[in-house]
Structures are given as structure tokens and as C-alpha cells.
Chains A and B, each alone.
Chain A
Amino acid sequence: MLLRTRPLVFLSSTITELADIRSEVKRQLDQLDIVDSWLFEYHRAASGATPDEQYLAYARTCDLYVVIVADQASPATQAEYEDAVRDNPEKVLPFFIGPDEGATADFRAALGQRHTFVRAGHPDELIEFVVAAIRHAVESGGLVQQGLRAALLESVSRSAALLNLALEFLPRVKLNDGESEGLLLDECLERFGRVLVIGEGGAGKSHGILVTLFRLTQASHKLPLYLTAHEGTRSIEELLESAFDSVRFYPGIDLINQYSREGRLLIGVDGYDELSAESRKRLLALVRGYADRYPRCSYLLAARYLDRSVLPTFTEASMAAISEGQLTDALKAHGYEQVQPRRDLKTELVDLVRRPFWLGALLKAGLSPRSPLAILQALISSRIVQSEPTESIKQVRTRRAAALLALTARPSDRVALPEALDALSVWARHDYIQDTFGQVAAVEYLEDVTASGLIVTNGGTVQFAHSLLAVVLAGEELVRRRDLSPSAVITDPELLPYVAALAADQFPSEMVEVLAASDVFLVARALRLLETRESRAYLESDAARYQKALSALRHLIGPGMPEDTEPEQIHVATDGVWLAISPSPSFEISVISEAEYEQWSNAVRAASDRLVVWTKNPFDDMTPESVAAAEIVLRFKEKLAGLRPSGDPYERADHTVVRRFLDGTTTRDQDIVDAMLTLRRYRSEVIEECGIHRSPYFYEPSGMPLIELFRHGNTARIRVIWGQDSADVRVAAGDGEQWYDDISDYLVADLRPREYRKLLSQVEHALGTPLTVTTWHQPRLVAGWTW
């Protein structure tokens, strides 16, 4: 591997004929100090390899290939050229000096047909042209743009191959201004420059970023850089270097900074959701810092959920659902002319197919899967079967190997090649693996998985084709090992719902254990992955399991009554079809008729004024543990609703109050600090009361507030920065960013209604479903699908 820190320019020509010119070009490039140059006469190294092997290697791997053609023909130069052009025709910069006739006529003609050449009248001019061309190619980034675009296209194509997703599918977004619907993501980026792309797993964020970067660089000289963040990310520059590196261009920090200063970069950051909480925080700080430092670049950041206040200068855009027309067209294109989604698809899937990934996955897997989890599993199977259509044992081992790699990579969906091979080697040596699959080398396993298209090996890294495939495979491996202790998954919130859902039928009590160590949002996600099953219900054992699970999960929604320390007891009544469940002092089951229901319900009301009634026994369709989990999520919603403070959440202080405040009484600063502290306290109380304080969605700021007031006439915008040693209020210069709050929002008697509304909004994001719509009553749709 070449160790380089900036672009390498290979100067190719006959040496003796142009010795002076080559020396001078080298001297000027050294002076320019933006590239490394390679000239055979200066840079050849003592080596066991032949000289031609050496210079051909450089011709192939250099970033810019300058070929100067004079009078003498040189097979060596032509060979270098052939290797260089095979690598990347865009990197070739041809220069002619002297007459076109003679020994080099054919070579000149060939170059002239394939490239834009420059002719120099005399040596000085030639030197000037060469140096200027190199300088321009490097400083504009022009030499690498095609490579970067090709890399984007390759990624999009890979995804298209995986999901049958048309390359022409253009992602649309909606802005949270309540007005802009169906805006193309590239229009959005052009308009705002910094866009936070929000969407559930499978909503098309990655595809959206790739396509947007590609489209926006079609007619511009900007450089499209698709960055995938990873756990060890320490700087944006490092990610940029890595992105350039993937097209074998090594600009070096100085040039990257220059590109950034000049606004030549169009940066898309992905991979946020695959990071640990700590790394996410770090990445956001890095993106924020870079965007502030280089405001002329454009930025896209994809995340499943992110509080916009974390990136206040970014415009939030949510991935829009696929339109009815697009959906119909896609179904038709795959031979499903007669399919009407609402009528023909399982209820659990109707909303999913409005998202690109899920639509693509369903089309690939066929329309038979009954749940989101089943779609993913079917997609994995289809990939494996496609690559290995006949040998079922090979299909099994490929899936196992893929699952092992996925688990090795967690919480990321990529792993270094040596680490992947190590993991496979260790695994392949296990007796039971050898007994089942025979002696198979790690490399062979890796090749099989690669052939399936589930992973891509690129630049020393093994990466899964889609993070959702990685997560479901990793979940399969854990469930297969029955390694379901909460500690195995609790630190991986993306994986947890999958593990729970995969374990639901086979290991229900382990599923409860895993869920009990999570939060209510992860419970909701796990529920959403499940499919209904038809099984015979055994009321007594089912009811007992339900009650046990309910007790185990109850703490997820916060403290309850003192008696909640005891296991929750229930009284179940049924006529064999319907089922009613009431809290009760003791566990009881009554088989009664509907005529007796009235009497029964009156009797159990001594224990509770609330009942849950199912018109059809839920244990026929779901495990008792899943029914209990749904009950927990529903109770959470009811609890949160019960905490709503009275008052107008939209109340604002009028201008006289604002003016009095801004005119500065002696207590102004203390008042606003107190208000902020009160708000934080209130928020913490609600969060703790609902049991969601452990959720990463609801981290609470620590320390004291620094409050900045951006005064503009008789009003002001306010920004609060927590984490200070002591509270402070400053009147800052400027009008403040438009995203900062208006001070009139804070000068009202009761701040709680507004804060409660904000909290609800966050909960809705976390659950993926509006709280105003009580779809919670349907456990399988209890949440949206914010995986």
C-alpha cells in the first residue's frame, strides 16, 4: 500500500529528451507544495522488482497522470499511459510539444481522440501549462469528482440490486414547517444548505443522500462525499480522507481544508444510528463544528431521530412516504397488477410499503411475508438462495456465517476484514460447526456471504448491504446461541427489539427479560416487528404468563402505587371467545356467559374502575408476553396523557411584558435562569414519572445554563447552553438564528404546558406514532416503526 498524504502526480515522458522540462516542472510543483510528484529519474527506488514494474505501479495508482509527448516515441511511456487510463481516464492530462508528425504521430492521435490535450509552443510555455493544469485539477477537485460520483453510483446500484429499487427513484421529503410536502431532497439541500434527514429505518435516508449527492454534482464542480461514521470517528477530516481514499485520492488535510473553505464539498453523513450513544454525541459535535467552521459547504446528516435543537442550524426534513401512484407503479412493474395494498397486504405491512426499503424488500421477497421481521428474513433468504440455488446445506452455512459477521460487527454494520476473517476462523474451528458444515476455510465462508450480496468488501472493510439486514442477522445469531441475557443486548438499542421479536415464540420468558431491561420505546418497536400467529390458547397458563410478564415490565412506565411492588394480580373472565381482564387482589379465572358479564364487571370494580376487554381471545394470535408488552405501552400512553397540565401550550407574552423584561429590571437575569431551571425540573419529573428517564431519547442536560439573548428591537431570541459551572445571562450580538426560541415564549406565568407539548412531540418521534391517534389499542401497530 502507498503511504501518501496528498495527491500524487506522475510525470510521464521520454526522460532524456525532456530532462530540463521535467526538472523544472518538478521544482515548481515542489514549490507549489500541494502535491507529491513522481519522476522516475528522481524517485525510483532500489527494488527487487524491475523498473517497469515500479513505474507502471505508480502510473496505475497516481492521482494525476501527466503525459508529455514530444518527438521521440517511447514504448515505456505508452505502457504507462495504458495502465493509467485503465485506472481512470479522468486523471490523464496530455500535453504536446513540437510537430504532430513523426514517431509520435499515432500516439498523439490516440490521445487526442480520448482526452483534451494542450499544445505548447516552446518549453517555458509547456512548463507553465503543466503546472497550471495540475494546480487547477487539484484545487478544483476536478480530478476526483468523476471517481466520487462513480462510487456513489456503485452504492446506489448495489442497493438497487438488493431491493429492486429503481435507480430513478427520487427521494422526497417534507419539511416540518407544515407547508412543504413532497420536496425533492436535492431541492431541499440547494435551498437550505444544511439538512437533517429524518426517517425510520428503511425510509430511504441513505438512498436519498446518495442520490442527492450524485444529482447535485451532475452539473457542478462540487465534490460529493458520502461519509459513513463509525465508532472510532475522531474528526470530520478523517472521514473525508477516508471518502477520498475510497477513490484512491489522497488530498491531505491542507487541501481538504482548502476545499472546505471554498465550499467545494457536498457532504452527506450516514451511519449515525449505528453508533453508540457516546459516539453519536461526538459525531454531532463534530458535524456542528465543521459546519460552523466551513459554512460554504453543503451538509446532509441522516438519522432516525434527532432533536433538532442539537443541530440548530440544520433544517429538519422528514423522508416522505412513497405516493399511492409510485406504489401502484412499483407493484405493476413487478407483476402485481391486481394487488391493492390496503385490501391484499397484511395490515402490519400496509404502512411499511410506503417506505422505499420495505417496498423494495417486499417486492424482492414476494408478497407472502406477514410481518416486518418476516420481510427481512425472506429478503436474506432470497439473496442466499439466489447465489446458491441448489445446495441447501451451503445456504444454511452462508446464513450462519453472515449472522456471525453481523454479530461481530455490532453495534456497527461494518467490520474490518482481518477481524471478520478472525471471527470466522475461530467459529469455523468449533466442533459443532465442523460437524455440520465440514472443514471450510474462513475465506470461503466470506466469499459465500459476499456472493450472496449481503455484504460488500471494500477497502479492507466488510460492510452489510443494509443495516437492517445486519441487525436481523445479528439477532438471529444471539437467539440461536440463546445468549439472551439483557447484558448481551442492552447496550445495543438497535439490536434489542430484533432479539426480543426473534425470541418471542421460542423463548418468551427471555424476551420479557430483555424487554424489561430496555425502555417502553424499544418494547413498542419489538411489538411492531412481530407477526400474529395462530395457536391454540390455554387460558390458565396463558393468563398466568400474561400476569407474570405484566409484573416484570411494569417498571418501564415509571413508579406506580405502593402496591406495585407486589406482582400484579389479575382476574380474567371469558366465555371462550371474548376475554376481559381486570386488576384483582388475587389471580382468578372465571368462565362466564355474556349475561353474567355485567355482574362480574360490577364485582371486580371494587379492585379497579378499569377493564380491558378483548372481543376475541388475544392469546390465539399473540404470545401472552407480547399481549402484556402491548398493555404496558398502552398504559404508558395513558399515564403520559394523565400528566398533561392545564393551560395553553401556545401562550406567549405580549410585547409590553417582553419590553419590560428586556429593558432590564434588576431581577431579569435571575428570573430567566429560574425559569429555565424550573423547566428542567418539571421535565425531569414528568420523564421520571413515566419511566423514560433511562431512554437515550430523553437525556437531560446537566450543569447550569448559559442564556444568550439576541436582542432585536423590542423582542429577542434566546439560546440556552447547558453544562456551565455557573448560570449566566448574556446579551449577544446579532439577531440570533431563526431556530432559536422567541423570548415571548418564556415570559408566561406557567411554562409547563409548552414544555409538556415539546415532550409529547419527542415521545411521538420515539414511538413513531402520533399520540393523538390512539392506535395503541391495536398492539401490533402500537407504535409506528422507528427502528
Chain B
Amino acid sequence: MASATAGRRVDLVKTLLEEAVASAGEALRQSDFGTTMQTFRANRRKAHGTGWSWITALELNQGPPIQRALTAAATLKAAGKGDLFTVEDSEYLGWASQARLAIQRITAKCWSPIPAQIRTLIVDEDDLPDPLGHGYIRNTRVSQLGDLLGPVGLKDPLSRAALRLVWSEAKATPAFLAARESAEAIASDPSLAARLRLRRSETLKQFQPHSTGEMLVAVENRCRELITSTYANEPLKVQEVALSIRAYNRLVQHVLWSILGLAERNEGLPPIVGDTGPIRVRYTDEGTQVAVSYWGDDRRWFPDLTEPFELVSPLTGIYLITGFAMSFAGREIIDLTGKRLGSLEGRSHDTAHMT
């Protein structure tokens, strides 16, 4: 079982990666990229209040910023409702497609020097085609070249420096070291690589719907099951390399989700303090999970599933929301469950998935 937080620490409390993620989130929030995200978000919410936007409606609970818009659009297209996009929707989706390329460029930096052809040998949730799945940003292990950051407003030195720090810290984690060792093992063993390639090819073929009548949710459940069981009957060596690459992939996804969630906010995120009641902490193979309640106020009462939150001593760290509920009787109470980013930095994790 992994330790509660496996990474290197700032003042022995927050991990260096968490600190870098918080800085990057703040830098991106103030960049053109963040401003664009915030503008689109405000417009969509306004549209939701005054009119009807299918994208807005379907975006809810669809995963990380940017990806969720593209998932919603793909869902509509799959349902034969592509003509329902408004002009604003189309503009937003155009930008989101570009932004996803930029994100893929950022994640490529997190994976370097592990070659793309090796890191993509392992099947994971980011391989699911849109609109299936809504936990991972798609294709974050592929290699994207060229200046993809500039066109979406990520050319300012502050953002670039902050992102450089993130991928530097990500690559200093035990999770990355384990993934790199696995990549080296694959590179040095052609039969292992061939076996992984075959499994990947077989699995991806099955991601397609069995029939035109198969429900989307059924396809998604089937695909998730496939991903979970892809390496279940493989030799231990195969399982180990798959596990370590997936573990690092999960960390990268959470890092991305946190940065994008922070960047999308109109203002910085205050930590949850004050009367939180007993915070229940559970240590699992999927990381440290917390359940916390707090009172709503003007600044923080309606959490967005995609934004991370911070807790205070002794649980200081960045957490990603895994669920929330609200009580409106009297003063609003918000209950959050979350997973600590720092707890994903360790080496050993199972094949469970971010949900």
C-alpha cells in the first residue's frame, strides 16, 4: 500500500508537485488562456440561465475542463444532434479542440524522455474515443510537436515557466521513475513490446459499438471493463509495466485536471477552513480520499466538479473533487469527497480508474 502522500515535500507538508501545480494553475488563470476559459465558462453559464445550450447541459459532470466540452459535442453528434450547436458553441468547440492539442503538448513534456511509441503501448482510459468516458483527457500520451501553446494564449513567460516546473516536478516523482523503468524494460524486450502491442490492438478493436443499437452507456461500461481486465491474465511482468505506466498516466491526468480547474476560476481558490467537522480520511490503493463538509458562503458555495480544493493542517494539499452533494435546508452545506494529488505520486497503484 502506498504511503499517504508519496512525493517530495515543501516544509514536509505539501508536495513539490502540488506546489508546482498550484503555481501553474494560478499562472494560467491569469494568462490569456485562462481568461479565454473563464470567458467561455461565464458565457455558457449565462446561456444556461437565459436560453438553452446543449453543450452546457451535457457538459455537467463530464470531466476535466476542455475535454468535457468535446465529450459533450461528440455525444450530441453520436446522437445525430450535431446541428443543435449554436454559433457560440461552435466557437467554443473550435477553441477547445486547439486547447486539447496544447494540453497534449504539455503532457508530452511530462512523459519525456519515455518515447511515445512505448508509453502508448499500454491501454488506458485516455485511449477511449469521444464521447466514451469522461475521466481522462484524450490521447495525452501521444507526441504533439510544434508551437501549440501560443495559439491558445499560453505564450507568456510566467505560464511557460510554471508549466516547466510542473513537468520537472512530475518527472521527479516515484511514479515517473517507475514508469520510466517500465519503459526501459519494454524497450529492451522486443517480445514484451510485441505482446503489449497485440493486447492493445485487440482491446482497441473492441472499443467499437457491437451494433448500431448498442446504448452509449452500455458501450462505455463494456469499454471500462475491458480496460480493467486488459492485463488481468497476462504474466506478472506485463502487469507490472502496465500498472506503473497507468499509475503515472493517472498522476499526469490529475495534474492536468487540477491546473485546468484552477485556470478556469475567476478568482484564486481559498482553502477550506473553519468549521469543517470531522474530515474522514481513507487510504486506498487509488490514493488518499477525504470526505469533508463546509458551510457555503459568498465565495464558495457551489463547487464545480472540475476544480480542485485545498485543505488545511494536518491535511494540507491539493485535492480533486470526486463527488459532492449539497444541502439547501437553511444555510447551505457542501459535502465534498476528494482525492489528494500528492497521494498519487508513489510507485505502486492498482488498475483502478479515476471516476
Contact = CB atoms under 8 A, between A and B. Distances in A.
Interface of A: 321, 342, 347, 349-352, 354, 575, 577-578, 580, 594-595, 597-598, 601-602, 605, 609-616, 618, 630-631, 634, 769-770, 772-775, 777-779, 781, 784
A598 B281 CA distance: 12
B281 A777 contact: no
Contact of B5 (A598, A605, A630): A598
B80 interface: no
Given A598-B3, A618-B278, A777-B280, A613 B331 contact: no
A342 B313 contact: no
Nearest to B326: A773
B327 A773 contact: yes
B225 to A, nearest CB: 14
Contacts of B295: 347
Contacts of A781: 333
A342 B331 contact: yes
B314 A613 contact: yes
Nearest to B288: A601
A707 B273 CA distance: 56
A575 B325 CA distance: 31
B326 to A, nearest CB: 7
B282 A777 contact: no
Given A612-B278, A613-B281, A777-B291, A770 B12 contact: no
A598 B4 contact: yes
7 contacts: A347-B275, A347-B330, A595-B11, A605-B283, A777-B335, A778-B277, A779-B278
B145 interface: no
Interface in B322-355: 325-327, 329-331, 333, 335
Contacts of B329: 321, 351, 354, 769, 784
A778 B333 contact: yes
Given A347-B295, A773-B326, A777-B335, A575 B313 contact: yes
Contacts of A342: 330-331
B311 to A, nearest CB: 8
B276 interface: yes
Nearest to B281: A611
Given A354-B330, A615-B273, A774 B315 contact: no
B57 interface: no
Interface string B1-33: 101110000011100000000000000000000
Interface string B264-300: 0000000001011111111110000001110100000
Contact of A601 (B4, B278, B292): B4
B278 A614 contact: yes
A612 B313 contact: no
Given A609-B284, A615-B315, A772-B325, 20 more contacts: A342-B330, A577-B313, A578-B314, A594-B13, A595-B13, A601-B283, A605-B283, A609-B282, A610-B280, A611-B282, A613-B280, A614-B277, A614-B279, A615-B313, A634-B278, A775-B327, A775-B333, A777-B291, A777-B292, A778-B275
B78 interface: no
A197 to B, nearest CB: 19
A618 B279 CA distance: 12
Contacts of B314: 575, 578, 580, 594, 597, 613
Residue among B278, B283, B284, B293 with max Cβ neighbours from chain A (10 Å): B278
Contacts of B275: 347, 616, 778
A578 B311 CA distance: 12
Contacts of A597: 314
B104 to A, nearest CB: 34
Given A350-B331, A601-B4, A772-B325, A777 B277 contact: yes
B331 A777 contact: no
Contacts of A770: 327
Given A350-B331, A774-B325, A781-B333, A594 B280 contact: no
A612 B283 CA distance: 12
A773 B323 CA distance: 11
A612 B273 CA distance: 16
A773 B277 CA distance: 14
Contacts of A614: 277-279
Interface of B: 1, 3-5, 11-13, 273, 275-284, 291-293, 295, 311-316, 325-327, 329-331, 333, 335
Name, among A578, A602, A616, A778, the residue most crowded by chain B CB atoms within 10 Å (CB to CB): A778
B276 A774 contact: no
A634 B313 CA distance: 22
A193 B312 CA distance: 56
Nearest to A768: B329
A773 B280 contact: no
Given A354-B330, A598-B3, A777-B276, A615 B335 contact: no
Contacts of B3: 598, 602
Nearest to B280: A612
Nearest to A630: B278
Nearest to A581: B278
A618 B278 CA distance: 8
Contacts of A779: 277-278
Given A613-B314, A615-B313, A777 B12 contact: no
Contact of B279 (A601, A612, A630, A784): A612
A444 to B, nearest CB: 43
Contacts of A354: 329-330
Nearest to B283: A609
A352 B330 contact: yes
A352 B329 CA distance: 9
A483 to B, nearest CB: 33
Contacts of A351: 329-331
A769 B293 CA distance: 15
Contacts of B292: 777
Nearest to A592: B314
A609 B326 CA distance: 26
A774 B333 CA distance: 9
A598 B8 CA distance: 12
A612 B315 CA distance: 11
Contact of B12 (A349, A575, A598): A598
Nearest to B330: A351
Contacts of B280: 610-613, 634, 777
B209 to A, nearest CB: 22
Contacts of A321: 329
A416 to B, nearest CB: 40
A163 to B, nearest CB: 19
- 6 A-B pairs with least C-beta separation: A351-B330, A350-B330, A595-B12, A777-B293, A597-B314, A774-B335
Nearest to B333: A775
B293 A613 contact: no
Max chain B C-beta neighbours (<10 A), residue from A609, A775, A777, A781: A777
Nearest to B12: A595
Contacts of A598: 3-5, 12
Given A594-B313, A770-B327, A613 B279 contact: yes
B10 to A, nearest CB: 11
A136 to B, nearest CB: 51
A609 B289 CA distance: 11
Contacts of A618: 278
B316 A769 contact: no
Q: Which of B273, B279, B330, B333 has the most CB of A within 10 A?
A: B330
Contacts of A601: 4, 281, 283
Nearest to B4: A601
A6 B280 CA distance: 67
Contacts of B283: 601, 605, 609-611
A615 B312 contact: yes
Contact of A612 (B4, B13, B281, B331): B281
B1 A777 contact: no
Contacts of B284: 609
B331 A778 contact: no
A769 B282 CA distance: 24
Counting chain A CB atoms within 10 Å of each CB, the highest count among B5, B11, B277, B316 belongs to B277
A127 to B, nearest CB: 66
